[in-house]
Amino acid sequence: MKHYFTLKEVQLNNNCPECYSNEGLELTFKQQFIENAFYKSITQETIHKMQCNTCNTTIFPVRWTNDIEQVVAYQKRAVVPKPKSLKLKQLAWVVIIADAVLLIVVLLFVTGLLKF
């Protein structure tokens, strides 16, 4: 299942394109991580979202002014995503070890070192 965690939240001093307040814009950067029964993984995929906390509106890129675009471009360069990682869970280790043991038993049986 894909999830996102917050990397950075920035309060912007630009005017909101909806309510024209210059105190409510917030830019949030999030990074994706994937978790399932076998592993947890942080990916390089990042997303950003702009929200005006004054008028409670999500500001989509089509509504951005040139000033907002410049600030977002600067903040994109400034944000440092966490490095990619992969952590195997206990179930994955059990499956890997069981497969390795099964492979060894089959090889020993085929070579004649193990007989039933």
The answer to whether position 112 is within a domain reads no
The answer to whether position 95 is within a domain reads no
The answer to whether position 98 is within a domain reads no
How many domains does the chain contain in total?
Answer: 1
The answer to whether position 14 is within a domain reads yes
Give pLDDT tens digits along the chain (116 positions): 789 999 999 999 888 888 888 888 999 999 999 999 999 999 999 999 999 998 889 999 998 889 999 999 999 999 999 999 999 999 999 999 999 999 999 998 888 887 77
Specify the pLDDT at position 102: 95
- Structural domain for 73, as ranges: 2-89
* φ, ψ dihedrals at 76, nearest 5°: -60, -40
The answer to whether position 101 is within a domain reads no
Q: Say if residue 81 is exposed, middle or buried (CB neighbours under 10 Å; 0-12, 13-18, 19+).
A: middle
Identify whether the C-beta of residue 16 lies closer than 8 Å to the C-beta of residue 55.
yes
Specify the pLDDT at position 1: 77
Specify the pLDDT at position 20: 87
Specify the pLDDT at position 112: 80
Single out the residue of 55, 53, 48 nearest to residue 69, CA to CA: 48
pLDDT tens digits for range 1-34 = 789 999 999 999 888 888 888 888 999 999 999 9
Specify the pLDDT at position 30: 95
The answer to whether position 76 is within a domain reads yes
Specify the pLDDT at position 63: 87
Specify the pLDDT at position 111: 87
The answer to whether position 75 is within a domain reads yes
